[in-house]
Structure 1
């Protein structure tokens, strides 16, 4: 049976200051998409509101825009995928073996409190599926609760974009909260690489998280490994 992966992207296009654009960090999608495509998986994108997922401008520039990013930017079919993402109410969690939350600072606004995404995540996880995220995508796991009322992340090893990386990226004063700190407050056992901006993946059972954009390939590879591929 073909594996099915649900990839979550943001609908947010700006920081709180509407003159400052943000959006999906494209390589966090493209790197995972290519790994999953090589495995023959069926993939679908969902966003909190459905429809367009804006792109983070900084992720489209050299040297951050690698070959996979340029390929997507030059492919009208793939651009259409980002323009017409599904809404959560169009998704049946039973159809998916794994969920993968992409990042970009945009997700800090629309991922954490989306009850529909939380429901989808919970149902996939409780059907023995895999929950995964990369970079800021872990903001989508902040408030997800299991059927027993416990937070999914409580007592779990995980990683995601670190506060020191926010500072070094020059956006610490622009983000709405410290995601690393919020994870720790929820009882998560947060880990990060000794050196910022290097790949790091943490696997705790069926929870797979990557620290930053540089971790997307390794995160997707680990998801595939857990799926037996």
Structure 2
């Protein structure tokens, strides 16, 4: 079995001095869930090469972050990610789109990511995403021309969460609003920043960073326990 994890290459906000990029726990917590299930796990990004990490997500108190970020193999994958242009889509049964604000600039319009997502989904694979990574699903069309998200139960980083961290004026769009525009059935947890998950057959989405582990667990349940 092969899993493809996609991360952002984008690190700059329009006006904020601090950098964005991958939110580390959204990679490490998911990775930790699937690592012992005999997956070959590849990490890709739109441009390939170095994946920037949001400095605010480098939490040393997070043992799972430390475990995987200090792992030489993972660090090598993060510094030398596969370009989406070089991904052999037909070999993967699982796709996972990580978040971090950077994704909002280089995921939504990426036609290679859209093609990879469509192919994995239409060949019976599992598509999953967390937090801002869900924006990579916004413009995915299936072979019949319909949007993947049309009439699907989904979640993703909420408008309230964006406002609470004061980045709602910095991002190019609000994810919750855009998901609703695609005729997705958006839901969110009652309390911001706590784990929330939505499952619609082979589509699993998580609302925020704390949802990443639950996404991993649900993906395994859907793939191996049904």
TM-score norm. by structure 1 comes to 0.95
Q: In the alignment, does 2:42 pair up with 1:39?
A: no
2-structure distance, mates of 1:7, 1:35: 13
Structure 1 unmatched ranges of 5 or more: none
1:93 corresponding residue in structure 2? 89
Structure 2 unmatched ranges of 5 or more: none
Q: Tell me if the contact between 2:59 and 2:65 (Cα under 8 Å) persists in the aligned partners.
A: no
Q: Give the alignment's Cα RMSD to 1 decimal.
A: 1.2
> After alignment, is 168-177 or 199-208 more displaced?
168-177
2:178 corresponding residue in structure 1? 182
What's the CA shift for 1:92? 1.3
Q: In the alignment, does 2:20 pair up with 1:22?
A: yes
TM-score norm. by structure 2 comes to 0.96
What's the CA shift for 1:6? 0.5
2:151 corresponding residue in structure 1? 155
Counterpart among 187, 197, 200 of residue 201 in structure 1: 197
Q: In the alignment, does 2:128 pair up with 1:132?
A: yes
1:59 corresponding residue in structure 2? 57
1:168 corresponding residue in structure 2? 164
- The aligned length equals 225
Q: 1:41 to 1:79 in 2, by over 3 A?
A: same
What's the CA shift for 1:18? 6.7
